[in-house]
Amino acid sequence: MESNVVLNESYAIIINLLATLVFGCSLLLFKDKKEKINIKPYFILFVLFIVSTSAVFILQGKFGIIIAGMSIYTIFNFISLIVLMSYKETDKAFTKVLLFFTIFVIYLGYNLYTPFNVRQHDGRDFIQYLNGGHLGYIGYIVFEGKLPDMDPQAYWCFYNPPLFHLISAGIVNITYPFTNDYGLSLEVVQLASMIYALIFDIYVYKILKKLDIKESAPFLLFFIAFSPAIVFMSGSLNNDMLSVCLSTMAIYYTIKWYDSEKLKDLILVALTISLAIMTKISAALVSIPIAVVFLYKLIKNKDMIKKLIINYIIFAIIALPIGLWFPIRNMVKFHIPPTYVQSVELDNEANISKYSTFERFFTIGPATFEDKNVNMTREHAEYNIFFTTLKSFVVDEYIDYEDSETVEMYLDFLFKISIVISILFLVNLVYLIVKRDKANSIWLYFFLLLFALEVLSYVKFCFDFPFTFTMNFRYIVPTLLTFALVIGKVGEKNKVLDMINSIVLTLFIVLSLALFIAI
């Protein structure tokens, strides 16, 4: 079973401050300007959460292990939801705030029992920062007070753009005088990843509403937000979640700009997509469908050509320097191409280069269904791109289930349901393409292009670097947006498919929540 984070005074205060921020921001975000807000249920929810956190802090250790405290924390929050759902005098915004806060509780719970050095990718060592890794990158900035200025090819992960690591180092520097513990300060950085995940969820919801997916938007948000891959990323100490968050924001502002034609929305597209690239180079894939939308807008509105070209020049002036300064710096200073990825030793146990293209797509090894985790041993390393990616969607790479048959059962069911969901997605996609409204399909084409680019780039990456650990869903998270669009639109057109989708996705959501309560 997983080890757990000790909830000391500093950490408890930080969590309660985050709760205050989440409540305030979600209330401002979701309230209807025309509707008078009844503040009482919001206040009750907020107070119950503070009581829950305080109970965990006071009672942890009283029963031998912190699991008891986490159980009380969970019970308090479920009581909160029951009490408030029975509260009759609530406004429309309350349901959305409650939905959003439920997601916050699950992410926070995961972060509370997952230390900063558990289930991380390329973390390495914060103190011994010259060993590289994302923690080493953060540590270098903290202890040296500057970005690494040596050849990044010699230090693992130092070739990555620095936005995530700069923000993380800033958090460590701000919190360390209060925590006097670098480990605890890194736990706060972990909470920052939780905030990125919450912002991602907000913008997923906003995108669905913009695309007129109204009835199923909360349900689809639950599926995405509670997908194991996203919950894992909410506690990650690498640049994945921030990159996905900013890319999703860029997509939302692109949709908003297309409708409004306002320069401020275009500037927000420029800022978010460039900051996404400044976080992780692969985020540049999102800029391709955005550029196609720009071109389509130009062709469709010939009477606005002068205005649009001026706006696009402003966009480029903002986006290009922010997004490309770091890869250009590395290219000029160290002769590293912008698409550079560090290589792995060929004698690595997870090397699967012996398998043919046909085998990588159409055959599976015994570990695919026998092992609940992703097998990376030399004899049985998993090599099928589709099945390994789906398994990483459920377990990332590894979940300790040896002491719990219940967790093992959840993992088995979630993996198999993920396969069913993938097949359902293809059925829904074919149906939607056939039944599409040809006069109003720009956003369907946008998200299909995004999906194709993400998948093709990912498959190329898997073959360029033939190791089991390169097959991970965290590299293609934006495909979830295409999934949500397709399922949401089909639900409005075909009630039979909508019912099947709802049953399968509901089962997945329930099992995913049960998994994170159990581990």
Reported as a single tens digit per residue, the pLDDT across 387-423 is: 999 999 999 999 888 878 889 999 999 999 999 999 9
Question: Tokens representing 331?
Answer: 């290219």
- In sequence order, the 6+-apart residues with CB closer than 8 A to the CB of 266 are 253, 257, 311, 314, 315
* Band of residue 344 on the pLDDT scale cut at 50, 70, 90: confident
159-218 pLDDT tens trace: 999 999 999 999 999 999 988 999 989 999 998 999 999 999 999 999 999 999 988 988
Q: For the chain, what are the domain ranges?
A: 1-113, 357-518
- In sequence order, the 6+-apart residues with CB closer than 8 A to the CB of 317 are none
DSSP 8-state symbol, 352: -
In angstroms, rounded to a whole number, what is the distance separating the alpha carbons of residues 481 and 488? 10
In angstroms, rounded to a whole number, what is the distance separating the alpha carbons of residues 95 and 111? 24
* pLDDT the model gives residue 24: 62
Tell me what the mean pLDDT of segment 479-488 comes to.
96
Using alpha carbons, list the distances in angstroms from residue 174 to 150, 167, 236, 309: 26, 11, 20, 43
* Highest averaged pLDDT of the listed ranges 57-61, 178-182, 433-437, 479-483: 479-483
* Whether 100 contacts 130, CB under 8 Å: no
DSSP 8-state symbol, 472: -
In angstroms, rounded to a whole number, what is the distance separating the alpha carbons of residues 185 and 203? 28
* Highest averaged pLDDT of the listed ranges 1-5, 94-98, 294-298, 335-339: 294-298
Give the residue from 49, 51, 18 showing the smallest Cα distance to 190: 18
277-311 pLDDT tens trace: 999 999 999 999 999 999 999 999 988 999 999 99
* Whether 165 contacts 134, CB under 8 Å: yes
Using alpha carbons, list the distances in angstroms from residue 507 to 124, 230, 310: 36, 17, 50
Is the pLDDT at 424 greater than 80? The verdict is yes
Question: CA angle 142-25-247, nearest 5°?
Answer: 60
Average pLDDT over the chain, rounded to whole? Answer: 86
In angstroms, rounded to a whole number, what is the distance separating the alpha carbons of residues 109 and 26? 19
In angstroms, rounded to a whole number, what is the distance separating the alpha carbons of residues 319 and 309? 15
Better pLDDT: 467 or 35: 467
* pLDDT the model gives residue 65: 41
DSSP 8-state symbol, 374: P
* Band of residue 256 on the pLDDT scale cut at 50, 70, 90: very high
* pLDDT the model gives residue 345: 87
Least confident of 82-86, 317-321, 495-499: 82-86
Tell me what the mean pLDDT of segment 146-165 comes to.
94
Length of the chain: 519
14-64 pLDDT tens trace: 665 666 666 666 655 665 555 565 666 666 666 666 666 666 666 555 444
* Whether 497 contacts 428, CB under 8 Å: yes
In angstroms, rounded to a whole number, what is the distance separating the alpha carbons of residues 114 and 189? 13
In angstroms, rounded to a whole number, what is the distance separating the alpha carbons of residues 59 and 70? 9
* pLDDT the model gives residue 2: 47
* pLDDT the model gives residue 69: 41
Question: Could you tell me the pTM of the whole model?
Answer: 0.89
In angstroms, rounded to a whole number, what is the distance separating the alpha carbons of residues 139 and 117? 14
In angstroms, rounded to a whole number, what is the distance separating the alpha carbons of residues 394 and 419? 11
78-136 pLDDT tens trace: 655 565 555 555 556 666 777 777 788 788 878 877 888 888 999 999 999 999 999 99
* Whether 147 contacts 141, CB under 8 Å: yes
DSSP 8-state symbol, 479: H
